[in-house]
Structure 1
Amino acid sequence: MNGAEAFIQTLKDCGVNTCFANPGTSEMQLVAAVDRTHGMRAILGLFEGVVTGAADGYGRMADKPAVTLLHLGPGLGNGLANLHNARRAGSPVINMVGDHATYHLHYDAPLTSDAAGVARPMSDWVRVSRSERDLAQAGAEAFAVAQSYPGKIATVIVPADHAWTEGSATVSVPAATTPARAPAEAIAAAAAALRACTGPKCLFLGGRALREDALIEAGRIAAATGARLVCETFATRHQRGAGRVAVEKLPYFGEMAEAYLKDFEAIVFCGTEPPVSFFAYPGKPSFLSPPGATLVRLASLREDALAALGDLAAALDAPAQPALVQAPTSFAAEPGKLTSASLGAVLAELLPDQAIVSDESATNGAAAFGMCAGAKPHDWLQLTGGAIGQGLPLAVGAAVACPQRKVIALQADGGGMYTCQALWTMAREQLDVVTVILNNGSYAILNIELMRVGVQNAGPKALSMLDLTNPAIQWTQISEGMGVPAVRVETAEAFREELASAIAAKGPRLIEAML
């Protein structure tokens, strides 16, 4: 057994059965090992950002890592933006990155780079294999790291000679670790703060605290204390819809978020940290919590959110039934030209039970999130790290992890162009994904930001850098060229008809929604 075979088989023994790949020459032994490992699925992405984003989506939905296969430092570099998003999400991901043979590195061939150095900024853990026999051990260690609650990015650099050299063997599966628990002092401090506060108070939730079981505990706490439930702006995986505990969403823009939070006298954080503005702006604050409020960290992202909320509910002697259970809601879509509001109303009406929404819709998708609060139960995945180009790959990974569930990708046109190659993978794998391109011909959010940072009277050169209409991008042609059937719609009626048709069918479809 060579090093590559021992490495891949060890990952398979650990429970890793999916490889998202964009390999090159230095990874051919790893490609062959994946081929020979029974039960290891190989999924090709035409760009590394698709590979890493798909691994993120898979990890969010499967709660276990997939493994990526990337080509040297430059290939890894192409995938870093979506590894940034995955790291911010707390997703479990294992990267295997090929490198030159150890004896070849000093010749400084054209693709030579510091692969480990490239990996470190977007990884929680980086390991360079030391030998063919060490490679399998590195794989087992990577799995243990990736599975650390709620998930981490583990990267293994694989020299080509370690992969092809014979004499290796698999290693035993590492023991599962127990998530860290919030200390008793944190539980007591949160209970005291919520009891003592007679004014507005809230539980501020993120990470695993937005799963259905954790939200039930949060709802019990709300029933006991009158606290409002608020979630971070961009959630890893928010389980929501009719019958689930409802959560308010913190606005994106810093001044709106500051105004939203200003009256709270006590804020208890679980699964996330106190919110800050996404960017600095002249004369505006970065830290958004009210200066006089009592702030208590109940549990960090790395501490068991469900256990912490359950312990807090017990400390408060909370009732068994949660408050704030979401009722079913419906909206009438305004007929005529398609708008953000009518798109959201149609989506809320047609969203299937247990659907998964990958949301990188930016400005024109804001209405959809709010309107779908009372739709059938679903999971909503968002742009956790702010690096655009995540939505389509995330949908790929979610569809691979959950093949029996319909995936809806709400994708802004500008961000979609970063990783449009994901459509090809959807077609190749016949993934059940309906992509809705929200096409407004612009980086619309940046037009807003241009004003918010204080730029006055922006000229034609500045505005041209935010415009996508010269030439106009033909999304239906891009999609058809990648093998995904596509249609363009301009009215609410047409959007409803096409979305209903796409949801009823199996396999990938794309709807270009002109807004």
Structure 2
Amino acid sequence: MNGADMLCDVLLTNGVDVCFANPGTSEMHFVAALDRKPQMRCVLGLSEGVVTGAADGYARMADKPAATLLHTGPGLANGLANLHNARRARTPMVNVVGDHATYHLQHDAPLTSDIEGLARPMSHWVGRIAGPTDVRAKTEEAYVEALMRRGVSTLILPADAAWGEVRPETHSPAALPARPAISTDALAAAAAALRGSRRAVIILAGRALRADALEAAGRISAATGAALFSQTSDRTERGAGRVAAQPVPYNVDQAVQALREFEVAICIGGRQPVGFFAYPGKPSTMLPPECEVIQLAGHENDLAEALRALAAEIGVRQDAPFVPNRFTQREIAAPTGPLNADSISVAVARALPEGAIICEESITSGGRLTALSPGLVPHDHIPLTGGAIGEGIPLAVGAGIACPDRKVVAMQADGSGMYTVQGLWTQARENLDVVTVILANRAYAILQGEMRNVGVNDFGRNARRMLDLDSPELDWCSLARGLGVDAARADTMEQFTDLFEAAVSRKGPFLIEARI
């Protein structure tokens, strides 16, 4: 066997059995090895942004890493934007990046590049395989680091390490160390704050937004009166019977207003909220300047256990009452009037099936879906985390691969959807159960809003030509059909309602272009 076979065996032994790929010449030995391993599901993406975004969506729903296969430095570079989003989501992932044979690097061939330099800003761990006998140890290290850091591992595979011969070995899963314990001092400080008279808020992120962790947070909130807020995270388990945490608003003024009353903040899974961007005369952090911030647990900790420990520290029993979300989905009135972000979100909320996965890159067109979500059937929400647009369609690909028995609903803005529209082809090829709703406002509306945020309200010709998408207009139905996905257009609320209800009742990929 060769080094590429060894790499595949190590991945499979550790449960990494999906590889999202866009390979090139340097990776052909790895492709041949994958061909010898039918246990590995190989999913082709027509651009590297689809590959890395799909691996992100897969891991968020499967709770285990996928592998990617990328071609040298330029291939990695093409996927960096969605690796940035994965890094912000703390998504475990093992990127395999092919490189020239070690002895060939000295000749500076056209595809030679600084792969480590490209990978490091978007990875939590970067390693290079020295030779075929180094493959097992380095691959195991990449896997362990991806899980323990909850992040992106980038493993560089030189071609001669892939084709070099190695001895067959018996494999066993890599041993994972215990997760670090939370600070006893931070635990005591958080408990004292909750027992005191100051107005307290618990700010949740990451895996603290899973149902079991939210339930523990709900018990603490019910017992102490502490408010629950959430930050943008990899995956939130939402819906009736669960506990809702109020999202920290994106808008700086709204976020400052929402958090203005709190005197102490306990952060679990992330740091204190900060503005997405800086604006003249506005703060960078959203909490009041005098608010005490207690960092109780980070992504590296077991966040559900941290919340249970906090509950125990203040005397809240594991069977203590909490306030679950009430089921209100059947009470939502059918939307009427013009087709817009609000009416679309209401229609989606009314028809959302139980267990659905919402992949959201709606940007400015999210409408009322977040506000309605606590009363809907239980479902998962996986959003754009790092602000690098072009991940919604790939996230839906990964979620569909991870959870083939669950309906995936992708709420996708039109401008950002064009970054990785190739992901529709992968949806068709893999016959994924994904409904993609294109919110077609024919503009980079988020940037129009940001222009207004910096005081520019009148757009001239140059600004309009950089922010509008209407000359020529995008034809999403033609684009989808050309990539193998059936599609239809909605210009009225009635058309959209009929199309969406039909789409969630059938299997397979379907796209709705909602012209708002």
TM-score range, shorter chain: over 0.9
Q: Could you give the per-residue CA deviations for residues 471-497 of structure 1, whole angstroms, max 9, x where no partner exists?
A: 000000000000000001022221111
SS at 1:147's partner residue?
helix
2:102 alignment partner in structure 1: 102
1:115 aligns with 2:106: no
SS at 2:154's partner residue?
strand
Q: Could you give the per-residue CA deviations for residues 18-56 of structure 1, whole angstroms, max 9, x where no partner exists?
A: 000000011000101111013100000000000000000
SS at 1:192's partner residue?
helix
SS at 1:268's partner residue?
strand
Give matches, 1:264-279, under 5 Å. Answer: 264-279=262-277
1:180 alignment partner in structure 2: 180
1:212 aligns with 2:175: no
Over the residues paired in the alignment, what is the CA RMSD in angstroms?
1.2
Q: Is the 8 A contact 2:16 2:65 kept in 1?
A: yes
1:500 alignment partner in structure 2: 501
1:382 alignment partner in structure 2: 383
Q: Could you give the per-residue CA deviations for residues 132-170 of structure 1, whole angstroms, max 9, x where no partner exists?
A: 111122111111111115x21111111111111112445
Q: Is the 8 A contact 2:335 2:347 kept in 1?
A: no
What amino acid maps onto 2:99 in structure 1?
D
2:343 alignment partner in structure 1: 342
Give matches, 1:343-422, under 5 Å. Answer: 343-422=344-423
1:146 alignment partner in structure 2: 146
Q: Shift in Å at residue 107 of structure 1?
A: 1.5
Q: Shift in Å at residue 242 of structure 1?
A: 0.6
Q: Shift in Å at residue 122 of structure 1?
A: 0.5
Give matches, 1:40-439, under 5 Å. Answer: 40-148=40-148, 151-170=150-169, 172-198=172-198, 200-232=199-231, 234-319=232-317, 320-329=319-328, 330-439=331-440
Looking at structure 1, the residues matched to 21 and 259 of structure 2 have their Cα atoms a distance apart, in angstroms, of: 43
Looking at structure 2, the residues matched to 87 and 112 of structure 1 have their Cα atoms a distance apart, in angstroms, of: 25
SS at 1:85's partner residue?
helix
SS at 1:418's partner residue?
helix
What amino acid maps onto 2:115 in structure 1?
A
Unpaired runs of 5+ residues, structure 1, are none
What amino acid maps onto 2:380 in structure 1?
D
Looking at structure 1, the residues matched to 168 and 157 of structure 2 have their Cα atoms a distance apart, in angstroms, of: 16
Q: Is the 8 A contact 1:436 1:511 kept in 2?
A: yes
Q: Could you give the per-residue CA deviations for residues 234-258 of structure 1, whole angstroms, max 9, x where no partner exists?
A: 2210001011011111110112111
Q: Shift in Å at residue 459 of structure 1?
A: 1.5
Call closer, same or farther: CA 1:214–1:322 in 2, change over 3 Å: farther
Larger CA deviation: 450-459 vs 104-113: 450-459
Looking at structure 2, the residues matched to 168 and 3 of structure 1 have their Cα atoms a distance apart, in angstroms, of: 9
What amino acid maps onto 1:154 in structure 2?
S
Looking at structure 2, the residues matched to 499 and 187 of structure 1 have their Cα atoms a distance apart, in angstroms, of: 47
Q: Shift in Å at residue 322 of structure 1?
A: 4.0
Q: Is the 8 A contact 1:222 1:322 kept in 2?
A: no
Looking at structure 1, the residues matched to 207 and 279 of structure 2 have their Cα atoms a distance apart, in angstroms, of: 31
Looking at structure 1, the residues matched to 244 and 280 of structure 2 have their Cα atoms a distance apart, in angstroms, of: 35
Looking at structure 2, the residues matched to 324 and 276 of structure 1 have their Cα atoms a distance apart, in angstroms, of: 28
Looking at structure 1, the residues matched to 270 and 367 of structure 2 have their Cα atoms a distance apart, in angstroms, of: 22
Looking at structure 2, the residues matched to 427 and 120 of structure 1 have their Cα atoms a distance apart, in angstroms, of: 33
2:39 alignment partner in structure 1: 39
Q: Shift in Å at residue 222 of structure 1?
A: 0.5
Q: Shift in Å at residue 172 of structure 1?
A: 4.3
Larger CA deviation: 180-189 vs 79-88: 180-189
Call closer, same or farther: CA 1:227–1:163 in 2, change over 3 Å: same
What amino acid maps onto 1:44 in structure 2?
L
SS at 1:104's partner residue?
helix
Q: Shift in Å at residue 181 of structure 1?
A: 2.1
SS at 1:426's partner residue?
helix
Looking at structure 2, the residues matched to 50 and 131 of structure 1 have their Cα atoms a distance apart, in angstroms, of: 29
Q: Shift in Å at residue 114 of structure 1?
A: 1.1
1:491 alignment partner in structure 2: 492
What amino acid maps onto 1:228 in structure 2?
A
Instruction: State the number of aligned residues.
Output: 512
- Identical residues among aligned pairs (%): 52
What amino acid maps onto 2:116 in structure 1?
A
Unpaired runs of 5+ residues, structure 2, are none
Q: Could you give the per-residue CA deviations for residues 176-208 of structure 1, whole angstroms, max 9, x where no partner exists?
A: 22222212221111111111134x321110001
Looking at structure 2, the residues matched to 326 and 172 of structure 1 have their Cα atoms a distance apart, in angstroms, of: 43
What amino acid maps onto 2:117 in structure 1?
G
SS at 1:503's partner residue?
helix
TM-score when scaled to structure 2?
0.97
TM-score when scaled to structure 1?
0.97
Larger CA deviation: 440-449 vs 489-498: 489-498
